[in-house]
Structure formats: C-alpha cells, structure tokens
Amino acid sequence: MIEFLLADVLAERGWTPYRLAQETGLTVPTAYRLADRERRFDFGRFSADTLDRLCRALKVQPGELFRWVPDAGTDDG
C-alpha cells in the first residue's frame, strides 16, 4: 500500500492546508482533502501537475511525499 505523507510534511513546516492552497494554486478543498490523514489516497484523481505543484511549493522530491508499506497478511515484506 502507498501512504501519502503530505500531512506529515505540512506539520513539519507548520503549514496548514489553507497555506498549501495559497502556495500551490490548488483549491482550498483540494488542499484539505490531500492533507487529510484519514482519507485513503486516490491516485486516479492525482495528476502529475498536482505533484509538481506540491514539490515546487514544499521544495521536496516526490519520494518525500510517499512511502510504500506492505499490506498486512502478505508475503511482500
């Protein structure tokens, strides 16, 4: 399973989703949705443009926003 770490990165910087929206040009609802730890990440609605905006604003590499975690009960890890 891929975990999206945006909420952690924002917390490290002291940023709110509102500030993220201001810095990236994303809509406020989109920024809040992306920063929600409880929400399962939906790759189908995530574009390369969004990733580029996040990396540019936060000055991170894409790999700093994602982590792979083996699913429980599998032989993957």
The string of pLDDT tens digits covering residues 38-62 is: 887 777 778 999 999 999 999 999 9
Question: Do 3 and 66 meet the contact criterion of CB atoms below 8 Å apart?
Answer: yes
Whether the Cβ atoms of residue 67 and residue 56 lie closer than 8 Å to each other: no
Residue 74 has a pLDDT of 64
Q: Report CA 73 to chain centroid distance, whole Å.
A: 26
10-46: per-residue pLDDT in tens? 999 999 999 999 999 999 999 999 999 888 777 777 8
Are residues 1 and 69 in contact, defined by beta-carbon separation less than 8 angstroms? yes
Strand partners, 67: 3
